[in-house]
Amino acid sequence: MTLPLRIVVADDEADTREYLVRVLPRFGHEVVGVAADGDALLALCDAAEPDLVVTDRVMPGLSGEEAVERLWGRRPVPVVMISAFDRSERLDEVCPETTRLVHLAKPFGGEDLAAAIEDASGMTASTG
Partner 1 sequence: MDRGAALERYEELRRYVGLADGDLRGVPALWELVAPHTPKLIDDFYATIAAHPRAAAVVTGGAAQFARLKGSLAVWIEDLFRGPWDADFVERRWRVGVRHVAIGLDPLLVHAAMSRIKTRVVGVLLEADDGDLPAGRRNAVDAVSRLLDLDLALVSEAYHAEWRKAERPADEKLTLRERAVARLAERALATSNLDELTDVTVAMIGESLGADAAAAFETVGGTERWRVSAGWGHEDFGVGGDFGRRGSGGFLDTVADTHGPVVVDDVRTAGGRPGRPSFPVPDLASAVAIALMPEAAGPGKLRVLAAFRTGRGRFGDDERRFLTSVGHIFETAIRRREWEERAALAERLAAIGQMMTRLTHESRNVLQRIRSSVELLGFELEDNPEATRLLERIGKAGGDLGVLYEEVRSYAAPLTLERSACDADELIREAWEAARESRPGDGSELASDLDVGLPPLDVDRFRVVQVFRNVFENAIAACAGSAHVTVTAHPSVADEASDSVDFLVRDDGPGIAEEVRATIFTPFVTTKAKGTGLGMAIAKRVVEAHGGTISAVEGSDERQPVDGTGAQFLVRLPTARR
Task: Report how far residue 28's alpha carbon sits from residue 14's, in angstroms, rounded to the nearest whole number.
Answer: 22
Tell me which residues in 17-36 interact with partner 1 (CB under 8 A). Answer: 18-19, 22-23, 26
| Rg of the chain taking only CA atoms, in angstroms | 13
128 binds partner 1 (CB under 8 A): no
CB of 42: closest distance to partner 1 in angstroms?
Answer: 23
Task: Report how far residue 94's alpha carbon sits from residue 22's, in angstroms, rounded to the nearest whole number.
Answer: 31
Strands (E) located in 6-124? 6-10, 30-35, 52-56, 79-83, 101-105
Tell me which residues in 89-118 interact with partner 1 (CB under 8 A). Answer: 105-110
Considering only 1, 4, 6, 16, the residue that binds partner 1 (CB under 8 A) is: 16
CB of 94: closest distance to partner 1 in angstroms?
Answer: 22
CB of 109: closest distance to partner 1 in angstroms?
Answer: 6
Of 16 and 127, which has the nearer Cβ to partner 1? Answer: 16
Give the phi and the psi of residue 54 in degrees, each rounded to 5.
Answer: -115, 115
What does the DSSP 8-state code read for residue 44? H
Sites of contact with partner 1 (CB under 8 A): 13, 15-16, 18-19, 22-23, 26, 84-85, 105-110
